[in-house]
Amino acid sequence: MTTETEAHWRQQSACADHNPMQFISDSPADKARARLICRGCPVLEKCRDWAMVNPVVGVWAGMDEAEREAYRPRWFKAVEAEGLAALSRMTQV
């Protein structure tokens, strides 16, 4: 289910006008192209927060599943340190 908040930030995403298949492809070339698109995305931080707490597949915020899994402990520490500001950022429309 897509929430209103998610729908809002995803409209601003750099991937909105690109083929979504390259974001879920196993091809290294497709993944590289997806990562390149993410690098210039204006909502990368919001996407990363979303991908850290939702069961998504493929490249999100420039990371595939394995990279997100490896990054998750650092992300949780950062969110914990940031406290309420992090919650506010993640629920911002």
Residue 26 near residue 64, CB atoms below 8 Å: no
Pick between residue 47 and residue 52 the one whose CB is nearest to ligand SF4: 47
Residue 74 · residue 87 · CB < 8 Å:
no
CA distances from 79 to 2, 11, 33, 36, 42 (A): 23, 25, 29, 25, 20
Is 37 a binding residue for ligand SF4 by CB under 6 A? The answer is yes
Residues of this chain, 46-65, that bind ligand SF4 according to CB under 6 A: 47, 60-61
- Report, in Å, the least distance between residue 63 CB and ligand SF4: 9
The binding site for ligand SF4 (CB under 6 A) comprises 13-15, 37-38, 41, 43-44, 47, 60-61
